[in-house]
Amino acid sequence: MTVKNKVVAALIQHSNTSDLEHNLEKTINGIKEAAKKGANLIVLQELHKSLYFCQTEDTNQFDLAETIPGPTSNRLSEVANELNLVIVSSLFEKRAAGLYHNTAVVFEADGSIAGMYRKMHIPDDPGFYEKFYFTPGDLGFEPISTSLGKLGVLVCWDQWFPEAARLMAMAGAEMLIYPTAIGWDPTDVDEEQQRQLDAWVIIQRSHAVANGIPVLSCNRVGHEADPSQVSEGIRFWGNSFITGPQGEILAHASDSEEELLIAELDLERSESVRRIWPYLRDRRIDHYSDLTKIYRD
Protein backbone atom coordinates (compact mmCIF):
# COMPACT_ATOMS: atom_id res chain seq x y z
CA MET A 1 0.00 0.00 0.00
CA THR A 2 1.42 3.38 -1.04
CA VAL A 3 0.96 5.98 1.70
CA LYS A 4 0.86 9.70 0.88
CA ASN A 5 2.76 12.21 3.03
CA LYS A 6 0.43 15.05 2.01
CA VAL A 7 -3.21 14.65 3.02
CA VAL A 8 -5.96 17.11 2.14
CA ALA A 9 -8.52 16.59 4.88
CA ALA A 10 -12.13 17.78 4.82
CA LEU A 11 -14.56 17.94 7.74
CA ILE A 12 -18.27 18.17 6.92
CA GLN A 13 -20.16 20.07 9.62
CA HIS A 14 -23.93 20.25 9.22
CA SER A 15 -27.29 20.21 10.98
CA ASN A 16 -29.62 17.22 10.93
CA THR A 17 -33.35 16.56 10.72
CA SER A 18 -35.59 13.54 11.30
CA ASP A 19 -35.42 12.82 7.54
CA LEU A 20 -32.68 10.17 7.31
CA GLU A 21 -32.40 10.22 3.54
CA HIS A 22 -32.15 14.01 3.51
CA ASN A 23 -29.34 13.88 6.06
CA LEU A 24 -27.43 11.25 4.10
CA GLU A 25 -27.81 13.14 0.84
CA LYS A 26 -26.54 16.30 2.54
CA THR A 27 -23.52 14.36 3.74
CA ILE A 28 -22.84 12.84 0.32
CA ASN A 29 -23.20 16.22 -1.39
CA GLY A 30 -20.66 17.59 1.06
CA ILE A 31 -18.28 14.74 0.23
CA LYS A 32 -18.62 15.48 -3.48
CA GLU A 33 -17.96 19.18 -2.92
CA ALA A 34 -14.88 18.34 -0.85
CA ALA A 35 -13.60 16.05 -3.61
CA LYS A 36 -13.92 18.89 -6.12
CA LYS A 37 -11.75 21.00 -3.84
CA GLY A 38 -9.03 18.36 -3.78
CA ALA A 39 -9.77 16.53 -0.52
CA ASN A 40 -8.68 12.91 -0.28
CA LEU A 41 -9.71 12.34 3.36
CA ILE A 42 -13.27 13.02 4.52
CA VAL A 43 -14.33 13.07 8.17
CA LEU A 44 -18.05 13.00 9.02
CA GLN A 45 -19.69 14.01 12.29
CA GLU A 46 -20.89 11.49 14.87
CA LEU A 47 -24.12 9.64 13.93
CA HIS A 48 -24.37 11.81 10.84
CA LYS A 49 -27.43 10.09 9.37
CA SER A 50 -29.95 10.90 12.11
CA LEU A 51 -30.83 13.31 14.86
CA TYR A 52 -28.88 12.75 18.06
CA PHE A 53 -31.40 10.27 19.46
CA CYS A 54 -29.66 9.76 22.84
CA GLN A 55 -31.45 12.72 24.47
CA THR A 56 -34.02 10.21 25.73
CA GLU A 57 -34.18 6.49 26.46
CA ASP A 58 -36.56 5.08 23.85
CA THR A 59 -36.40 1.48 22.62
CA ASN A 60 -37.93 2.52 19.29
CA GLN A 61 -34.70 4.34 18.46
CA PHE A 62 -32.90 1.01 18.10
CA ASP A 63 -34.68 0.75 14.75
CA LEU A 64 -32.21 3.35 13.46
CA ALA A 65 -29.33 0.88 13.79
CA GLU A 66 -27.90 -1.00 10.80
CA THR A 67 -25.60 -3.91 10.24
CA ILE A 68 -22.12 -3.28 8.83
CA PRO A 69 -21.99 -3.89 5.91
CA GLY A 70 -25.48 -2.52 5.46
CA PRO A 71 -27.47 0.08 3.46
CA THR A 72 -25.64 3.20 4.63
CA SER A 73 -22.16 1.69 4.65
CA ASN A 74 -22.79 0.37 1.14
CA ARG A 75 -23.77 3.87 -0.05
CA LEU A 76 -20.65 5.40 1.46
CA SER A 77 -18.51 2.62 0.03
CA GLU A 78 -19.79 3.47 -3.45
CA VAL A 79 -19.04 7.17 -2.92
CA ALA A 80 -15.50 6.45 -1.69
CA ASN A 81 -14.84 4.28 -4.73
CA GLU A 82 -16.42 6.74 -7.17
CA LEU A 83 -14.43 9.71 -5.87
CA ASN A 84 -11.24 7.80 -4.96
CA LEU A 85 -10.99 9.10 -1.40
CA VAL A 86 -10.93 7.80 2.18
CA ILE A 87 -14.05 8.39 4.29
CA VAL A 88 -14.34 8.24 8.08
CA SER A 89 -18.00 7.74 8.92
CA SER A 90 -19.96 7.26 12.16
CA LEU A 91 -22.81 4.76 12.26
CA PHE A 92 -25.24 3.21 14.75
CA GLU A 93 -24.25 -0.43 14.39
CA LYS A 94 -26.56 -3.39 14.99
CA ARG A 95 -24.11 -6.19 15.72
CA ALA A 96 -26.70 -8.74 16.87
CA ALA A 97 -30.17 -8.77 18.38
CA GLY A 98 -29.96 -6.53 21.44
CA LEU A 99 -26.28 -5.68 20.84
CA TYR A 100 -25.52 -2.24 19.45
CA HIS A 101 -22.43 -0.04 19.11
CA ASN A 102 -21.52 3.53 18.24
CA THR A 103 -19.15 2.63 15.43
CA ALA A 104 -16.77 4.52 13.18
CA VAL A 105 -16.22 2.88 9.80
CA VAL A 106 -13.30 3.81 7.55
CA PHE A 107 -13.71 3.31 3.80
CA GLU A 108 -10.65 2.96 1.62
CA ALA A 109 -10.48 4.84 -1.68
CA ASP A 110 -11.46 1.67 -3.56
CA GLY A 111 -14.66 1.38 -1.52
CA SER A 112 -13.51 -1.45 0.72
CA ILE A 113 -13.87 -1.23 4.48
CA ALA A 114 -10.38 -0.52 5.80
CA GLY A 115 -11.44 -1.02 9.40
CA MET A 116 -13.81 -0.12 12.22
CA TYR A 117 -13.59 1.39 15.67
CA ARG A 118 -16.30 0.91 18.29
CA LYS A 119 -16.62 3.77 20.78
CA MET A 120 -14.94 2.78 24.03
CA HIS A 121 -15.97 5.51 26.48
CA ILE A 122 -19.76 5.70 26.74
CA PRO A 123 -21.28 8.72 28.54
CA ASP A 124 -24.42 8.78 30.63
CA ASP A 125 -25.37 12.38 31.36
CA PRO A 126 -28.59 14.40 31.11
CA GLY A 127 -29.38 14.62 27.40
CA PHE A 128 -26.60 12.16 26.52
CA TYR A 129 -28.00 8.78 27.60
CA GLU A 130 -25.63 6.71 25.49
CA LYS A 131 -25.22 3.82 27.92
CA PHE A 132 -28.84 2.91 27.18
CA TYR A 133 -28.01 2.43 23.49
CA PHE A 134 -24.35 1.51 23.07
CA THR A 135 -22.30 -1.42 24.29
CA PRO A 136 -18.70 -0.29 24.97
CA GLY A 137 -16.33 -1.15 22.15
CA ASP A 138 -14.24 -4.30 22.11
CA LEU A 139 -11.81 -3.53 19.27
CA GLY A 140 -9.36 -1.62 21.45
CA PHE A 141 -7.36 1.44 20.50
CA GLU A 142 -5.97 0.25 17.19
CA PRO A 143 -5.19 2.59 14.27
CA ILE A 144 -6.75 1.78 10.92
CA SER A 145 -4.30 1.46 8.03
CA THR A 146 -5.27 3.25 4.82
CA SER A 147 -3.58 4.53 1.67
CA LEU A 148 -3.30 7.91 3.45
CA GLY A 149 -1.62 6.55 6.57
CA LYS A 150 -2.63 5.06 9.90
CA LEU A 151 -5.76 6.75 11.25
CA GLY A 152 -6.33 6.86 15.01
CA VAL A 153 -10.12 7.02 14.92
CA LEU A 154 -11.95 7.69 18.20
CA VAL A 155 -15.48 8.99 18.85
CA CYS A 156 -16.76 12.02 20.81
CA TRP A 157 -16.53 11.23 24.57
CA ASP A 158 -13.25 9.43 23.78
CA GLN A 159 -11.79 12.86 22.96
CA TRP A 160 -11.60 13.83 26.64
CA PHE A 161 -9.32 10.93 27.60
CA PRO A 162 -5.55 11.38 27.10
CA GLU A 163 -5.07 7.64 27.58
CA ALA A 164 -7.01 6.87 24.39
CA ALA A 165 -5.01 9.37 22.36
CA ARG A 166 -1.72 8.09 23.76
CA LEU A 167 -2.53 4.45 23.07
CA MET A 168 -3.46 5.27 19.49
CA ALA A 169 -0.21 7.19 19.05
CA MET A 170 1.80 4.39 20.64
CA ALA A 171 0.25 1.97 18.14
CA GLY A 172 1.45 4.11 15.24
CA ALA A 173 -1.48 6.43 14.52
CA GLU A 174 -0.36 9.31 12.28
CA MET A 175 -3.35 11.48 13.15
CA LEU A 176 -6.24 11.45 15.63
CA ILE A 177 -9.78 11.72 14.27
CA TYR A 178 -12.85 12.46 16.37
CA PRO A 179 -16.37 12.30 14.88
CA THR A 180 -18.39 14.26 17.44
CA ALA A 181 -21.87 15.31 18.59
CA ILE A 182 -21.54 17.79 21.44
CA GLY A 183 -23.41 20.93 22.31
CA TRP A 184 -24.75 23.33 24.90
CA ASP A 185 -27.68 23.19 27.25
CA PRO A 186 -29.51 26.32 26.05
CA THR A 187 -30.29 27.26 29.66
CA ASP A 188 -26.61 27.64 30.60
CA VAL A 189 -25.33 31.21 30.84
CA ASP A 190 -23.01 32.48 28.12
CA GLU A 191 -19.95 32.32 30.38
CA GLU A 192 -20.51 28.63 31.16
CA GLN A 193 -21.06 27.82 27.50
CA GLN A 194 -17.77 29.50 26.62
CA ARG A 195 -15.92 27.58 29.34
CA GLN A 196 -17.26 24.29 28.02
CA LEU A 197 -16.31 25.08 24.44
CA ASP A 198 -12.85 26.26 25.44
CA ALA A 199 -12.25 23.07 27.43
CA TRP A 200 -13.33 20.94 24.44
CA VAL A 201 -10.90 22.66 22.10
CA ILE A 202 -8.05 22.75 24.63
CA ILE A 203 -8.18 19.06 25.54
CA GLN A 204 -8.04 17.97 21.91
CA ARG A 205 -5.28 20.40 20.96
CA SER A 206 -3.35 19.00 23.92
CA HIS A 207 -3.58 15.51 22.40
CA ALA A 208 -1.91 16.86 19.27
CA VAL A 209 0.84 18.46 21.36
CA ALA A 210 1.42 15.48 23.67
CA ASN A 211 1.63 13.01 20.80
CA GLY A 212 3.10 15.14 18.02
CA ILE A 213 0.40 14.32 15.46
CA PRO A 214 -2.51 16.22 13.83
CA VAL A 215 -6.01 16.16 15.31
CA LEU A 216 -9.25 16.37 13.30
CA SER A 217 -12.53 16.91 15.15
CA CYS A 218 -15.85 17.10 13.29
CA ASN A 219 -18.97 18.24 15.18
CA ARG A 220 -22.54 18.98 14.12
CA VAL A 221 -24.48 22.26 14.40
CA GLY A 222 -28.05 23.31 15.00
CA HIS A 223 -30.65 22.97 17.75
CA GLU A 224 -32.25 19.56 18.29
CA ALA A 225 -35.31 19.44 20.52
CA ASP A 226 -35.70 17.02 23.41
CA PRO A 227 -38.45 14.57 22.31
CA SER A 228 -39.55 14.18 25.94
CA GLN A 229 -39.77 17.98 26.36
CA VAL A 230 -38.11 17.61 29.76
CA SER A 231 -35.27 19.89 28.70
CA GLU A 232 -34.77 22.58 26.08
CA GLY A 233 -32.78 20.20 23.91
CA ILE A 234 -29.20 20.60 22.72
CA ARG A 235 -27.64 23.37 20.66
CA PHE A 236 -24.74 21.63 18.97
CA TRP A 237 -21.82 24.01 19.00
CA GLY A 238 -20.04 23.18 15.75
CA ASN A 239 -16.49 24.56 15.97
CA SER A 240 -15.08 21.63 14.00
CA PHE A 241 -11.34 22.07 13.66
CA ILE A 242 -8.07 20.67 12.34
CA THR A 243 -4.72 21.07 14.07
CA GLY A 244 -1.15 20.29 13.17
CA PRO A 245 1.21 18.24 15.37
CA GLN A 246 1.95 21.16 17.71
CA GLY A 247 -1.72 21.87 18.28
CA GLU A 248 -1.66 24.79 15.84
CA ILE A 249 -5.07 25.52 14.33
CA LEU A 250 -5.09 24.90 10.58
CA ALA A 251 -8.84 25.35 10.06
CA HIS A 252 -11.72 26.19 12.41
CA ALA A 253 -15.47 26.33 11.74
CA SER A 254 -18.11 28.56 13.32
CA ASP A 255 -20.53 27.59 16.10
CA SER A 256 -23.69 27.81 14.01
CA GLU A 257 -23.09 27.48 10.27
CA GLU A 258 -22.93 24.42 8.06
CA GLU A 259 -19.39 24.37 6.75
CA LEU A 260 -16.93 22.38 4.70
CA LEU A 261 -13.58 22.68 6.45
CA ILE A 262 -10.43 21.83 4.48
CA ALA A 263 -6.75 21.81 5.43
CA GLU A 264 -3.60 20.20 4.07
CA LEU A 265 -1.67 17.98 6.47
CA ASP A 266 2.04 17.32 6.08
CA LEU A 267 2.52 14.00 7.88
CA GLU A 268 6.31 14.32 7.68
CA ARG A 269 6.13 17.28 10.10
CA SER A 270 5.28 14.91 12.93
CA GLU A 271 8.75 13.38 12.70
CA SER A 272 10.50 16.74 13.02
CA VAL A 273 8.18 17.86 15.83
CA ARG A 274 8.79 14.67 17.79
CA ARG A 275 12.55 15.19 17.47
CA ILE A 276 12.19 18.59 19.14
CA TRP A 277 9.61 17.50 21.72
CA PRO A 278 10.51 13.82 22.46
CA TYR A 279 7.65 12.96 24.82
CA LEU A 280 7.65 9.31 23.77
CA ARG A 281 11.37 9.06 24.52
CA ASP A 282 11.08 10.55 27.99
CA ARG A 283 8.01 8.74 29.26
CA ARG A 284 8.68 6.99 32.59
CA ILE A 285 6.70 3.83 31.98
CA ASP A 286 8.47 2.16 34.91
CA HIS A 287 6.49 4.47 37.22
CA TYR A 288 3.13 4.52 35.45
CA SER A 289 1.65 1.25 36.73
CA ASP A 290 -0.88 3.09 38.91
CA LEU A 291 -2.58 4.30 35.74
CA THR A 292 -4.24 0.88 35.57
CA LYS A 293 -6.12 1.72 38.79
CA ILE A 294 -9.39 3.65 38.84
CA TYR A 295 -8.11 5.78 41.71
CA ARG A 296 -5.22 5.85 44.17
CA ASP A 297 -6.79 5.65 47.64
Domains annotated for the chain, with CATH where assigned, are 6-280 (3.60.110.10)
The Cα 101–Cα 134 span in angstroms is: 5
Short-list 93, 116, 120, 95, CA closest to 106: 116
Among this protein's residues, is 82 annotated catalytic?
no
Rounded Cα distance, 14 and 31, in Å: 12
| Eight-class DSSP state of 286 | G
Q: Which of 119, 150, 174, 224 is catalytic?
A: 119
Catalytic site includes residue 192: no
| Angle separating helix axes 71-83 and 20-36, nearest 10 degrees | 20
Reference 154, options 39, 221, 167; nearest CA is: 167
Q: For each of the chain's 297 residues, which pLDDT tens digit applies?
A: 556 689 999 999 999 999 999 999 999 999 999 999 999 999 999 999 999 999 999 999 999 999 999 999 999 999 999 999 999 999 999 999 999 999 999 999 999 999 999 999 999 999 999 999 999 999 999 999 999 999 999 999 999 999 999 999 999 999 999 999 999 999 999 999 999 999 999 999 999 999 999 999 999 999 999 999 999 999 999 999 999 999 999 999 999 999 999 999 999 999 999 999 999 999 999 999 999 999 998
Grouping H, G, I as helix, E, B as strand and the rest as coil, residue 250 is: strand
Q: Strands 215-218, 175-179: parallel, antiparallel or unpaired by DSSP? A: parallel
Q: Quick check: is 46 catalytic?
A: yes
Instruction: Please state whether the predicted TM-score (pTM) of the whole model is above 0.75.
Output: yes
The residue annotated as part of the active site, out of 54, 130, 156, 224, is 156
Per 3-state DSSP, the chain is made up of helix, strand and coil in percentages (nearest 5) of 35, 30, 40
Asked if residues 280 and 271 have their Cβ atoms less than 8 Å apart, the reply is: no
